[in-house]
Amino acid sequence: MKICITSQGSTLDALAEERFGRAPFFIIADTETGSFEALENQFAGGSGGVGPKAAQLIIAHDVKALVSGMVGGNAHEVLKAAGIQLYVYRTSGTVRDAMDQFNKKTLEKVA
Amino acid sequence: MKIAVASGKGGTGKTMVAANLAFTLSQTCQVTLVDCDVEEPNLHLFFPAPATAKDVTVQVPVIDQKICDRCGKCGEFCQYGALTVLRDRVLFFPELCHSCGGCTLVCPKNAIHEEPKRVGIVTHTKPLPRLDLVSGNLDTGNPFAVPVIRAAKMATAGDCLVILDASPGTSCPVVETLDECDACILVTESTPFGLHDLQLAVDVTARLGIPAGIVINRNDGQDQATFNFCTNRDLDIIMTIPFDRGIAAIQSRGDLLCRVRPEWMKAFTTLYRKCCGLAGVD
């Protein structure tokens, strides 16, 4: 399954980012193979509407779950409509740690 | 002649200056006063009168989901994130839409048309024989002040003497208010905050090429820093209003300084002449 983890950098050792729309990077990871790709968030510095824009980007990558700290109302609506499940990670660890916790099913699901 | 009253900092006395200037001039000629502080218009409190109102609308896209094939062009085009294209439908966030109309142009299927959406009202009153008051009033919850300000200004097109009361700040609503004005009165007060925000406001008027003059309100006689700033920037202090409990009391009960103390009309007439001087007209 493909998941997206919001990140401050482009590697698995980068710190996970709490914000969704303004996250500097999106790490798109395959939970089965462990392979990943880093997408730089070109909308991070935008004046508004960054949440839906970021959501559109991860929808295009066929992501089934999002791991992030907080997601704004508009982005949440898009993710919900697209059937992307949201998981909360707020322990300021690395992307790798967030992915491990996701795999161990210890992350809280947001309805 | 169009004169804007702005300040940068809120609460310095823009509305007080605009109301008294308009009141004074309306004794001898026809004046239109425009409340461009559409998020919290309050000039009408000084001039109670029966009002007529007109809706202000903006165009927003409506997508025919039957024609739309979810190609994604509209979502890619929209810089504001107002359109998100999913596999089975397009989501529209009206509060993010800037009404640019771009989505209707880029849609290859012509599946998008525009419909009006109300964002506020413009009211019109005639509180005095020679005074018209036009107020923009943004609907609660709407984030875009500019279309309402534009509509209020449009309603005064052709009027020969217009005084526009701007909102505080230095962003889009103020820029929209200042657009095409001949002169700007910048109202400041004897505080470090008044001076700080005056500096920002002066930068805006300079960038827009609008001549500005400074009014120091609630003057406590300790304005060396403001004087220095004005000297350095070659700005004239065109009026000073003292820190005075009596003036504050008149203002607080919704009355006008020039109505209660008509001797002040001379000072506001002089203020108008100085604005004409700034604008380069006699």
What does the pLDDT look like over B131-188, one tens digit per residue? 999 999 999 999 899 999 999 999 999 999 999 999 999 999 999 999 999 999 999 9
> What pLDDT score does B252 carry?
94
Using CA coordinates, name the residue in chain B closest to A59. B86
> Do B67 and B189 reside in the same domain of the chain?
no
Taking 80 as the threshold, does the pLDDT of residue B282 lie above it?
A: no
**Residue A77 forms contact with B (CB below 8 Å):** yes
Under a CB-based contact definition with an 8 Å cutoff, are residues A20 and A66 in contact?
yes
> What pLDDT score does A109 carry?
92
> Do B271 and B214 reside in the same domain of the chain?
yes
- Where is average pLDDT lowest: A44-48, A94-98, B205-209? A44-48
Please tell me the total count of domains within chain B: 2
> Do B85 and B28 reside in the same domain of the chain?
no
Residue A35 vs residues A25, A30, B167: alpha-carbon distances, Å: 16, 6, 53
What digits encode the pLDDT tens for the residues B223-280?
Answer: 999 999 999 999 999 999 999 999 999 999 999 999 999 999 999 999 999 999 999 9
Under a CB-based contact definition with an 8 Å cutoff, are residues B238 and B214 in contact?
yes
Residues 6+ away with beta carbon under 8 Å from B192: B225
**Residues forming a β-bridge with B94:** none
User: Left (φ > 0), alpha (ψ -120 to 50) or beta: where does A85 sit?
Assistant: beta
> Do B162 and B267 reside in the same domain of the chain?
yes
Is B85's CB within 8 Å of A74's CB?
Answer: no
Q: Which two tokens stand for residue B178?
A: 């200042």
Residue in B82, B87, B89 nearest the CB of A49 = B82
What residues of A are in contact with residue B81 (Cβ under 8 Å)?
43, 46, 48-53, 56, 74
Task: Enumerate long-range contacts of B234-241, CB under 8 Å, 24 or more apart.
Answer: B235/B202, B236/B274, B236/B278, B237/B213, B238/B185, B238/B213, B238/B214, B238/B271, B238/B274, B238/B275, B238/B278, B239/B17, B239/B215, B239/B267, B239/B270, B239/B271, B239/B274, B240/B215, B240/B216, B241/B13, B241/B17, B241/B215, B241/B216, B241/B217
- Confidence band of A85 (pLDDT split at 50, 70, 90): very high
> Do B269 and B181 reside in the same domain of the chain?
yes
> Do B161 and B222 reside in the same domain of the chain?
yes
> What pLDDT score does B9 carry?
95
> Do B48 and B125 reside in the same domain of the chain?
yes
Taking 80 as the threshold, does the pLDDT of residue B8 lie above it?
A: yes
* CATH number (domain holding residue B108): 3.30.70.20
Is B89's CB within 8 Å of A81's CB?
Answer: yes
CB neighbours of residue B219 within 10 Å:
19
> Do B68 and B163 reside in the same domain of the chain?
no
Q: Mean of the pLDDT values across residues B83-90? A: 92
pTM of the model: 0.85
Domains of chain A in sequence order: 2-110 (3.30.420.130)
* CATH number (domain holding residue B269): 3.40.50.300
> Do B130 and B256 reside in the same domain of the chain?
yes
Sequence length of chain B is 282
> Do B84 and B192 reside in the same domain of the chain?
no
> What pLDDT score does B58 carry?
96
Taking 90 as the threshold, does the pLDDT of residue A48 lie above it?
A: no
Q: Which of B118, B141, B165 is the last residue of a domain?
A: B118
> Do B64 and B133 reside in the same domain of the chain?
no
Full domain range(s) for residue B27 = 2-56+120-279
Q: Which of B66, B83, B118 is the last residue of a domain?
A: B118
Under a CB-based contact definition with an 8 Å cutoff, are residues B238 and B271 in contact?
yes
Q: Which two tokens stand for residue A36?
A: 């990943």
> Do B90 and B223 reside in the same domain of the chain?
no
> What pLDDT score does A34 carry?
87
Q: Which of B79, B91, B92, B95 to mutate to test the interface with A (most CBs of A within 10 A)?
A: B91
Is B81's CB within 8 Å of A50's CB?
Answer: yes
**Residue B109 forms contact with A (CB below 8 Å):** no
Q: Which of B98, B118, B138 is the last residue of a domain?
A: B118
Residue in A49, A78, A82 nearest the CB of B80 = A49
